[in-house]
Amino acid sequence: MSTRHLYLALAVAVGLASQASAQDTIKIGELNSYKTQSAFLDPYKKGMELALDEINSKGGVLGKKLELVVRDDGTNPGEAVRVAEELVTREGVVMIAGTFLSHIGLAVTNFAAQKKVFFLAAEPLTDKITWQNGNRYTYRLRATTYMQTAMLMPAAIAAKKKRWALVYPNFEYGQSAAENFKTLLKKAQPDVEFVTEQAPPLGKIDAGAVAQAIDDAKPDAIFNVLFGGDLAKFVREGNTRGVFKDRPVVSLLSGEPEYLDPLKDETPVGWVVTGYPWDKIKTPAHTAFVDAYQKKFSDYPRLGSVVGYVTIKSIAAGIAKAKSTETEKLVEAFAGLQLDSPFGPFSYRASDHQATMGAYVGKLALEGGKGTMVDFKYVDGKDVLPSDADVKKLRPAEAN
């Protein structure tokens, strides 16, 4: 055989092998802000890996193994859309999943509607993804800002405080949480006053100035939506200035290990928070998850670990129910899809494509010089979601 014919034969063989390999896997596109939000997304990626191992070790889905094609979205809506387009057109993925920040999730939600691509929004919390900007092709896993704010409302009402201060990051998630809090509390307590709103740019908080402005407004209580590095700086300055002394604080996400663990002995005791007390949840499903996670990674799970794990489990369950990877069949299969998670069973509602996976609510405390959650309980997402009739008013008519 001539050299030319040999190269040609090899090229054909490689091409056929590649094609066969592609046919043996189901490619899932995943994009996220890995470089800038590593506290949450490093554990999230581990959770995805654990789920993939479990699924593929049992033969995959529809006789094929799941394959993840992961990309960074650059923490930029335009870049996220470009990456999503590349995943679909160049990588040939059957769906896309992921995103963390709400404005990134909204950009990909819009992309999914325009391109008719199935999108499972894993982490972004803004209500708009499944309500005002909802569409046929987008589903969402995490409990929304509305849901988590509603979970905190019993504590806010029980505090019986009239003058409230709000502090939140100035982007879609923070703005949405603040509006939900004001609306829900005003409905329950019409005489409430919101004496100051501090909305620093995400990742650029002047914590001393924010803490002092809140103290100067003399609120009776505080609603906090800051997370990550902004939260740590705010807590430090607030503790130093006595801002939290004798003032109830209700706070989104602050009980999640990603944001609680770095506070160490500066943990603000008594805050009522949504979070994840991973070391204290003793249900069989959660214990099995923790054992498998620790065996694989020699580390404890964060909330991101659970979200990543359940994202992949959801995708596998949806494909299995659809018995296909065709977009329209996936859309139909996810409507009412039921599955188990480390937090217990949940479903994806047909009415708004929102999952009913809930969250834990409890109080922050110090144990052994570290922050933890005590007096916690699990709040099922279905108990803090509007009715199907109310959701119909929130979503565009063409969304379903």
Question: What's the pLDDT at 24?
Answer: 87
Which residue is listed with tokens 């480390």?
A: 342
Give the residue-averaged pLDDT of 298-310. Answer: 98
Strands 370-379 and 359-367: what pairing? antiparallel
Coil, strand or helix at 282 = coil
| Band of residue 10 on the pLDDT scale cut at 50, 70, 90 | very low
Region at 396 (left for phi over 0; alpha for psi -120 to 50; beta for the rest)? beta
What's the chain's average pLDDT? 94
Cα separation, 24 vs 330, whole angstroms: 19
| Band of residue 400 on the pLDDT scale cut at 50, 70, 90 | low
What are the tens digits of pLDDT across the range 222-270? Answer: 999 999 999 999 999 999 999 999 999 999 999 999 999 999 999 999 9
Q: Is the pLDDT of residue 11 over 50?
A: no
Q: What are the extents of the domains in the chain? A: 3-143+283-357, 146-277+360-384
pTM of full prediction above 0.85? yes
Closest by CA to 165, choosing from 210, 230, 229, 232, is: 210
HEC profile for 375-393? EEEEECHHHHCCCHHHHHH
| Band of residue 20 on the pLDDT scale cut at 50, 70, 90 | very low
Least confident of 16-20, 226-230, 327-331: 16-20
Cα separation, 310 vs 296, whole angstroms: 17
What are the tens digits of pLDDT across the range 373-389? Answer: 999 999 999 999 999 99
Rounded to 10 degrees, what is the CA torsion of 219, 221, 226, 227? 150
What are the tens digits of pLDDT across the range 350-373? Answer: 999 999 999 999 999 999 999 999
| 146-277+360-384 homologous superfamily | Response regulator (3.40.50.2300)
Residue 6: is it exposed, middle or buried by C-beta count within 10 angstroms (0-12/13-18/19+)? exposed
Q: Is the pLDDT of residue 125 over 90?
A: yes
Give the residue-averaged pLDDT of 209-215. Answer: 98
Question: What's the pLDDT at 317?
Answer: 98
Question: What's the pLDDT at 12?
Answer: 45
Handedness of CA 171, 262, 40, 221 (dihedral sign): negative
Coil, strand or helix at 227 = coil
Q: Is the pLDDT of residue 21 over 90?
A: no
Q: Does domain 3-143+283-357 have CATH number 3.40.50.2300?
A: yes
Q: Is the pLDDT of residue 16 over 80?
A: no
